[in-house]
Structure 1
Amino acid sequence: MCRHLAYLGPPLTLRELLFDPPYSLVRQSWAPRDMRGGGTINADGFGVGWYPPAGGDPVRYRRAQPIWSDPTIADLAAVTSTGAVLAAVRSATVGMAVVDAAAAPFAEGQWLFSHNGVVRGWPDSVVPLAATLPVRDLLTLDATTDSALLWALVRHRLRAGLSPGPAVAETVTSVAAAAPGSRLNLLLTDGRTVVASVAGHALSVRTTPDSVLLASEPHDDDPAWREVPDGHLVTATATGLHLRPLSRPDHHRPPDGREDG
């Protein structure tokens, strides 16, 4: 099913986010506590995307192997500091590609994207939705996976001018209608705002006055963690958090392309 997280706040090392907590993302790769819907471990790849303190587009590190077996990521995490991160460990659905390019986060320009879950009836259930995309987008998918197609659907809406919250919400509701029973927990960030959908799987959030951490599972036993209700969309910055039902229509297109609430 995969596990993922997004962080915005004061700079931390990747090690502090990915390795050090008692129930860290690295631990979740081999001992997840919540794998509803199938799977036992997340050993089919991993990825980390972070925004350089000096600004600019995010940097990514992705591999098709388990995160615990990679010889580089621990050393890289110890010396890399950032205030905006999206990371994931992967459990591939049977029949889907296990290659570096299939691991989240997916990226374009300022955007990073991840999917925790599965599209039921893949690929037949979403053929009509895939047909709405430009042919070039289909020919250049990162990988032959449901997650890569979900990213293409979200990205298509962003390119059309939809702001991040509605782009994610519309994608989730359209795929859920086409493929009932799908699990569609998505994360999307531009390094300043995170949008997350909770649709069929778990997501928890921990906030402080100047940071927010969203994760498939709480990383520790801090009572500040709270679970986001299923069927909701989260829009978060380092200093604010907003929840709304996924079913509530919202097609606002602010001039700067960013979520307004």
Structure 2
Amino acid sequence: MNDIQDLLDQGSAWLPLITDGLINLFIGLVIFFIGKFVASKVAKWCESRMLKSSVDKAVAGFTSSILYALMFAAVALMALGQIGVETTSFIAILGAAGLAVGLALQGSLSNFASGVLIIILRPFKSGDFIDGAGQMGTVDRIELFHTYLKTTDNRVVIIPNSAMMNGSIVNFSREKTRRVDLVVGISYDADIRLAKQIMQEIVLADDRILKDPECTIALSELADSSVNFVVRPWVNAADYWVVRADFLEKVKYAFDERGVGIPYPQMDVHLHKQES
């Protein structure tokens, strides 16, 4: 009986500690999940406010990602402190673990550093059409570790920031104007003067082609199967592809109507009869 009584007394002594521990665990979980929810909402709110203030979309997305990461770390420490974990020692442990993880995750840290450089150097911004890391598309957003591109066929391409910064970046949207470089070939028996006149008329009739700088139309090559002209009109960057397609279509129609032949690769074979 005395042993049973002792067990009951020990259980009564441990019960408040267990109850307090469960309560602290519950409060810690509540702090963690509510804090995580609040951090997400605050980050999105800050991003929307920056966008309304005409801050570049890429900068707003990058800043909100950093803000969320910092708030999430603070919420995690608060939750651990509520449970009873010594956060001071925990931070020291995290520092040591962070060094080891940092060595193991050099690629991710490189992506983060490259993301910071993209924001600072601004080789491109949200909405620019670029060719980077072997992919072409419109920049949608820049985050801590990745840059998001949308292709012309509406695919989303996610590129590590380090890959973006370590390669060549072609920004098609940086300048307001672009030059359309075209090669137009005519047959050897066609009238060169007439062909050049037709192309000049098409250029002058198109208001989207800029008068300054002046369009270049010049004979460039006497090729194997054609006489080649280079045509180099200047247009606003937004009109590049439309003007290019329209010019080629109009040239084809005009050449057909006015008898200017457009050649295709061909080979002349000469047969000689050899008398025995």
Q: TM-score, normalised by structure 1?
A: 0.23
Q: Which has the higher contact order (CA 8 A, sep 6+)?
A: 1
Question: Counting strand residues as a fraction of each chain, which structure ranks higher?
Answer: 1
Question: Counting helix residues as a fraction of each chain, which structure ranks higher?
Answer: 2
Q: TM-score, normalised by structure 2?
A: 0.22
